[in-house]
Amino acid sequence: MSTPVETRPSWPDRRAVGVVVQTSVHTATLLKSWSRDPGIVVQSLLFPTFMLLMFQLVFGKSVTSLGAGDSVYGNTGLVALVGVLYGTVATAMSLIRERDSGLLSRMWTLPVSRSGFVAGRLTAEAARTGLSTLVLFLVAMPMGFRFDQGVAAAVGAWLVPMIFAVGVAVPVLALATASSGTQAVQLLGGVFLFLLFFNTGFAPVSEYPEWLQAVVRNQPMSPAIDAIRGLTEGGAVAGPLTATIAWTVGLVVVFGPIAVRGFRRASEGR
């Protein structure tokens, strides 16, 4: 009588699930999870709406009188990007909780493409930003915000914060996966505060001291704000949009490898 040969279990190939499918599933899972997180909902939807109302009530007439166009266009672009910054911080804190609870480690063992986890998170950040921007545009319309440049330009204005979100999410993700992720992410508050008050949406470049004007003009928020303004109220589009894309690509190229390595360490370290 022959002895049965012991066979090892056959594990599914990680390539059995395509990156596109994995990315879409992970994106949907994250969005569903974030919709149940009060902190993310507040930072993504309520905080930008409140900030836009305050900016228009307090600074609206003063900024418009400076001659740089209707303030609602600059303020709407500014607040849309501020929503990106602080919304990304909120989602980064949720990632830290997933790391500390061991959830990342469990997901890392699934028979799926591991690159889909990072791609899914970036796609979810863009989708979250798209919804937040849409809500903000609807809130701004009663204040005089219009899409005077046509439907295609309106879609472009909606996409600009989403492009910006991908660039911002990569360095934030890199910090969140570091060993001291909580402290590192919290330190971003000071950086974001600087970006909030020194950009072309808060005030025209000419209103800043001469030694600071180059910084204000070229920091990552300013070209994105100018692109949104150009696509809605009118004005230059090609230059600001190119600069926004360049900032996004640069941030991804510089911080992308760091984020991927950090994500791997965070997942395998539990």
Query: What integer pLDDT is reported at residue 157 of this predicted model?
Result: 94
Domain boundaries, the chain: 18-268
Cβ-proximal residues to 166 (8 Å cutoff; 6+ apart), any chain: 122, 125, 126, 248, 252
> Do the Cβ atoms of 30 and 103 come closer than 8 Å?
no
The structure tokens 């028979």 sit at 111
At 187-224, the pLDDT tens digits run 777 788 888 888 888 878 888 888 888 989 989 999 99
Nearest CA to 80 out of 120, 134, 121 is that of 134
Give the lowest-confidence range in 78-82, 86-90, 114-118: 114-118
DSSP state of 149: T
What end-to-end distance do the CA atoms of the chain give, in Å? 47
What phi, psi does 60 have (nearest 5°)? -55, -55
At 255-264, the pLDDT tens digits run 888 888 877 7
> Do the Cβ atoms of 165 and 81 come closer than 8 Å?
no
Dihedral sign (CA 165, 166, 168, 172)? positive
Which one is predicted more confidently, 178 or 1?
A: 178
> Do the Cβ atoms of 199 and 193 come closer than 8 Å?
no
Quote the crossing angle between the two packed helices 115-140 and 19-34, to the nearest 10°.
Answer: 50
Which one is predicted more confidently, 116 or 245?
A: 245
Q: Which of 4-13, 52-61, 188-197 is modeled with the greatest confidence?
A: 188-197
What phi, psi does 259 have (nearest 5°)? -65, -40
At 138-167, the pLDDT tens digits run 999 998 888 989 999 999 999 999 999 999
Task: Kindly report the pTM of this predicted structure.
Answer: 0.85
Nearest CA to 184 out of 267, 268, 99 is that of 99
For 28, the token pair is: 């949907």
Average pLDDT over residues 71-81: 87
Nearest CA to 145 out of 160, 134, 161 is that of 134
For 129, the token pair is: 């930003």
In terms of residues, how long is the chain? 270
Q: Quickly state the pLDDT bin for 174 (edges 50, 70, 90).
A: confident
